[in-house]
Structure 1
Amino acid sequence: MNRVLLGCTALMVLTLAGCSSSTATKGPKPDQPYEDAMDTGKSVYEIGQASQAEAQYRTAMDRALMRDDAAGIHEAGFNLATVLLAQDQPRKALQSLSTTEAALSLRNFSDTSDLAVIRAAALYRLHDTVFASQAVDRALQSSDMGIRERALYLSGLIAADLRQDTVLDRRVNDLAGFHTTSATVDQQELTARLNLLRRQPELAYSGALSVVKSRRDALDYRGMRRALTLAADAAEAAGHLPQATALRQEEQISKQVAVKQAGENGGAAGDAPAPGSVPAKVTVQVHGTPADQSGLGAGD
């Protein structure tokens, strides 16, 4: 089955886990239309065609429901909600998650911590930190290290918004136990937020600029823009007003171009994922700032 892991597993990054299709001579015969829809959805998502990926995952979900395949419903449901969030449609993502979770509950499928982290990201983007925190807490119980990494990062973003420096500090330390590039950058971002919260704007400024470069190098332009906003906030707090103004202008220009390109492509504003970042189960990164309240698959 084609399953792209949230960065975690990667972006969770968001960074992601690979896919596998059984070629064993024994076992259930695969549903080829389901497999084709999942494969095509992944392929078009990788080149930034989120709306086309959505259509493919809806097809895959229909096939999984017709087959009464709980695992297939889970995979297709995860990808569909992720793609909806990538298109900056958090409410639709939540509706899709509710439908998927109801179908899984009917079939006694309980391992849905990955769905919880998407729910948390969607709620976070909608400024609902209370329910986002509850969803994050459930995701933090996951045995999947990728899911836990994403949940820790999102938990840190929520803590920064709520100015809970003790919790934020704990999340920074928690992320030190993950030895992936994405986790390292996430930790750097949370550290910059912690420094800004603790009135150390110079440290926050330099740290945020480092995150800007890392996000840019990873082709994560949404994350780059959020880091630019964070750097601008830190520069302003440090009294570097010209730098703050320039950083905000850079962020706005990048955002305007992203919106323009999305309009030309007939989709929602967004950026294509980094090459190779979504090998199987489609997932997007949990990147966001207190300013835009965004999270997993965050929009601008």
Structure 2
Amino acid sequence: MKKLFSILTLLFTTLAWAQPVRFSAEIDTNRILIGDQFTLQLKGEVNEGTNFEWPIIPDTISGLDFVDISKIDTTLKDGIWQLSQKLTLTSFDSGYVAIPPLTLKANGEEASSQAVAVVVAFPELVEEQDYYDIKEPLEPPFNWMPILIGVGILIVLAVGIWLFIKWWKKRKANKELTPEQMMSPYEYAQLQLSEIEKDQLLQSGKIKEYYSRLTDVMRLYMERQMNINAMESTADELIDKMKELRLATELKEKIDRLLHLSALVKYAKEKPSVSQNEEALVTVKHFLEQTKPAEKEENAELSV
């Protein structure tokens, strides 16, 4: 009895293991409008360890176009491989479209699906409905932002270039300035007097150059500081122009003597005395001190 039970158990197990191959093809709708899409679902079942050959999907099916073909999905359940694949199709031809049977092969067995059909129809026209011409594509509203950003960038660049050119010209001009232009009239005159003393013109017998340079220092100072045309004026003309200056009478007389003495040295080869030479330098220095610009007084801070 036990032997018979074992044989029956083995027989049922073998039959269960030797489940036949199954395959089906289903569509989610049997009617579509032209251009619509529908899904063809392929499903199959084979025993675990079975070599199978999935149906070959044709490149084209008359009247149908493939939109998408998914990969084969496999799931193992109770020793059975459950296989599935989705195909998305569409059609642009009206009428009756048939999908032929597809076959799944496994260990010499075959299972085929039934042919399925789809009706492809035109949309229904409603006679009362108004029809309009196809509208032109709508143009998006004009976007001013890129133009404004571009204009802003150009303005910034233009201002930057202008500032750079201005700085460069100023820098170049500063490099080309002479000591006379860089210094105040008073400072430059003092520098010239120091150079005259340093050159020791009197000791070298250069009396004419000594008086010429002294009077030039005074004349140039008057032009720059007092806006008086002094370089081209004669001694008498310059003395006449100096009448408007608020100078002590004694200083004016000394300047008068200096200018006339300088003219005599230059044109009549006059030879001044040592005291006259010294007085000439002192007169110019005194004139500079009396006419130099007043220094700005700084406001004193009150301390607690």
TM-score band, normalised by the shorter chain?
under 0.3
Question: Please, what TM-score do these two structures have when normalized by structure 1?
Answer: 0.21
Question: Please, what TM-score do these two structures have when normalized by structure 2?
Answer: 0.21
- Structure scoring higher RCO (CA < 8 A, sep ≥ 6) equals 1
Q: Which has the larger radius of gyration?
A: 2
Q: Which structure is higher in strand share? A: 2
